[in-house]
Amino acid sequence: MQQLEMLEKTDERKCCVCKEVKKEEEFTYHKIQGRQSQCKECRKELNKKYNEENKEKCLAMRRDYYKRNKDRYRELSRLRNKNSVKGKAVNRVNAAIKSGKLVRQPCEECGAEKAEGHHDDYAKPLEVRWLCRSHHKQWHAKYGEALNACTVRHWTPPKEAQK
Ligand SMILES: [Zn+2]
Ligand SMILES: [Zn+2]
Ligand SMILES: [Zn+2]
């Protein structure tokens, strides 16, 4: 005990990791644990390693959690999509195509046959323009989200849009 106190009083310490004797200020003083036995440099390395390992663990845990709840997540996002104005508009279009009310057209920009229905305004579910995947992407890159994408809740379409 006597000896330990002696050691505490010297202003040099031996790092238990790199075994180098360094000045006391090279060791972080911890309020609860006292002066740490690894020098600041080794401490940094240890922290880095710990953080990296932890990050991995954290990620793995999140991935695992997602995997276990995947169906729930899917169901939730499906419901959210279905109930959003946007989702409803997409459903209306699909239903209209099925019933023959709406006919798929080629891309109005390039004439590509495979085109997707695009809404300038989701509040008008059956007013669609036909754009191929890349022109569709370009449109949204240029103008962002179309009108009424998901901002309006509990929205019922006006009579004329329901036709
Ligand atoms: Zn060290
Ligand atoms: Zn196109
Ligand atoms: Zn679109």
Tokens (6 digits) for 102: 């709406």
Residue 28 near residue 15 (C-beta atoms within 8 A):
no
Nearest bound ligand to the CA of residue 39: 1
The residue ranges of every structural domain in the chain are 10-67, 85-161
Q: 59 CA to middle of ligand 1, Å? A: 30
Q: 36 CA to middle of ligand 2, Å? A: 65
pLDDT classification of 79: cutoffs 50, 70, 90: confident
pLDDT classification of 141: cutoffs 50, 70, 90: very high
H helix or E strand, kind and range, residue 16: none
Please check the confidence at residue 155 and state whether its pLDDT lies above 50.
Answer: no
State what percent of residues in the chain have pLDDT above 70: 85
pLDDT classification of 72: cutoffs 50, 70, 90: confident
The alpha helices in 100-154, defined as continuous H runs, are 133-143
List pLDDT tens digits, range 110-132: 999 999 999 999 999 999 999 99
Residues 57-91: b if buried by 16+ CB within 10 A, e if exposed: eeeeeeeeeeeeeeeeeeeeeeeeeeebbbbbbbe
- Measure the CA–CA gap between 129 and 22, rounded to whole angstroms: 73
CATH 3.30.60 fits 10-67, yes or no: yes
Q: 16 CA to middle of ligand 1, Å? A: 7
List pLDDT tens digits, range 30-60: 888 888 889 999 999 999 999 999 999 999 9
The alpha helices in 19-127, defined as continuous H runs, are 40-68, 70-83, 85-99
Residues flanking ion ligand 3, Cβ below 5 Å: 118
More confident residue, 151 or 58: 58
Nearest bound ligand to the CA of residue 105: 2
Q: Is-above-0.75 flag for pTM?
A: no
H helix or E strand, kind and range, residue 22: strand 21-23
Q: 94 CA to middle of ligand 3, Å? A: 14
Q: 58 CA to middle of ligand 1, Å? A: 28
